[in-house]
Amino acid sequence: MGLHDSPTGVSRIPTPGRKGPGTPGDAGTPVKLSNPDSRVHVYCRVKPLDYPESSGPAPCVREVTGLNQIVHNGVVAGERTYTYDGVFDRMADQLEVYTKVGRPVLREVMTGVHGCILAYGQTGSGKTHSLLNVSEGQDSTYAGLVPRLFSELFVNIASDFQHIYLVSVAMFQ
């Protein structure tokens, strides 16, 4: 009862003997998204230049503050503008990215809706840094999306005494 067909996700199962709301996704019960803006959201995070890169010519990418745009000044194709749901500039920290990207996904997951976060980019563009960035003995303020999601997920689960949770995760690289 209340388990999803998919092998990944969070399923809430009412605790026997306790009264609580039904589990979203039960047969015959439509799942009502807590966020009506449930489309795919696309964000861009601009990686800071490394030392050798920063001493070279001006970067070919610039952020347009407040418009969620990236302007690419390509040599061959000329200038092109791309608009996203959000743009994280070179100064954005891991907490800012988590708050804007991870937390809304977790909020939906806690209602029984599956969540997915995908990082896409060239080798060395910062995907692993944004998603994981976990090193032994490292300060947790540098943790990426995945460790923050897991931490907050289990804090939320521990505070819900009306359900038993089944958590499954799939990750690919």
Q: What pLDDT digit, counting tens, does each position of 129-160 carry?
A: 999 987 766 778 889 999 999 999 999 999 99
Binding residues: 121-128
Binding residues for ATP: 121-128
- pTM of the predicted protein model: 0.72
List the one residue out of 31, 59, 30 whose CA is nearest residue 47. Answer: 59
- Torsion-angle region of 127 (φ positive above 0: left; ψ -120 to 50: alpha; else: beta): alpha
Contact 108, 35 (CB under 8 A): yes
Q: What is the CATH number of the domain that holds 97?
A: 3.40.850.10
For residue 162, tell me if it sits in a domain: yes
What pLDDT is recorded for position 73? 80
- Please give the chain's pLDDT, 173 residues, in tens: 333 444 456 666 665 554 444 444 444 455 555 565 678 899 999 887 776 655 555 566 777 767 788 888 877 778 888 899 999 988 899 999 999 999 999 999 998 888 999 999 999 889 999 999 877 667 788 899 999 999 999 999 999 999 888 888 888 88
What pLDDT is recorded for position 155? 96
In angstroms, the CA 101 to CA 44 distance is 11
Looking at the DSSP assignment, which residues form a beta bridge with residue 11? 166
For residue 26, tell me if it sits in a domain: yes
For residue 61, tell me if it sits in a domain: no
For residue 24, tell me if it sits in a domain: yes
Count of domains for the chain:
1
In angstroms, the CA 27 to CA 41 distance is 28
For residue 33, tell me if it sits in a domain: yes
In angstroms, the CA 68 to CA 1 distance is 42
Based on its alpha-carbon atoms, the radius of gyration of the chain, rounded to whole angstroms, reads: 20
For residue 122, tell me if it sits in a domain: yes
For residue 77, tell me if it sits in a domain: no
For residue 111, tell me if it sits in a domain: yes
Residue-range definition of the domain harbouring residue 161 = 9-39+91-168
